Amino acid sequence: MEERETILDARQIGETLVRLAKEVEDRRGKADKLVLIGIHRRGADLAERLKKLLDKRLGKDLPLGKLDINLYRDDWSHLDIQPVISRTEIPFDIQGASVVLVDDVLYSGRTVRAALEAILDYGRPKRVELLVLIDRGHRELPIQADYVGRIIKTADSEHVNVLVKELDGRDKVCLVGA
């Protein structure tokens, strides 16, 4: 796939995460039981960064979980490659918590549907809000993000690649086409 356009560079990603942390603080900063859960792979890395920003802003140590949704996917039979199974780590009670679920790209909504199903296996939170770095549209399910870094219009044939330094050695969001 050929890169067509840089959507966010490293500086812009950092600035966007600062803004998103402020939005979470404004809306949920006083919540007694605020927790972050990042969806593996890159959502988990972004959640770690948000945790650092929110811990500093709120003056407390927020619980951070990492969620692998692969076993909850509804498209196993349609995948060309076998997904890599990561480890879910939610080392805290989510019963009654205000959960901020973090992912890199919101597209069809199917990843979020799977994540919601997985979260319910760990308890019943008070609420779950969705935070995404990029919303590219094309929903197949009625799912919307509560916190959005950037909304971009894409064609179905295009993809949004989020690169994070923790996994890819650099930070960048780019639009790629077939």
| CA pair distance 158, 2, nearest whole angstrom | 10
Residue 171 is assigned to a structural domain of this protein: no
Residue 159 is assigned to a structural domain of this protein: no
Residue 170 is assigned to a structural domain of this protein: no
List pLDDT tens digits, range 16-55. 999 999 999 999 988 889 999 999 999 999 999 999 999 9
Range of the domain at 140: 11-154
Residue 142 is assigned to a structural domain of this protein: yes
Stated length of the chain: 178
Residue 57 is assigned to a structural domain of this protein: yes
Query: What is the pLDDT at residue 34?
Result: 97
Number of domains in the chain: 1
List pLDDT tens digits, range 52-78. 999 999 999 999 999 999 877 666 555
The residue ranking higher by pLDDT, 83 or 17, is 17
Query: What is the pLDDT at residue 177?
Result: 85
Query: What is the pLDDT at residue 3?
Result: 75
- CATH number of the domain to which 145 belongs: 3.40.50.2020
| CA pair distance 88, 67, nearest whole angstrom | 5
CA dihedral 165, 166, 168, 173 (to 10 degrees): -50
Q: Is the model's pTM score more than 0.85?
A: yes
Query: What is the pLDDT at residue 30?
Result: 85
Residue 162 is assigned to a structural domain of this protein: no
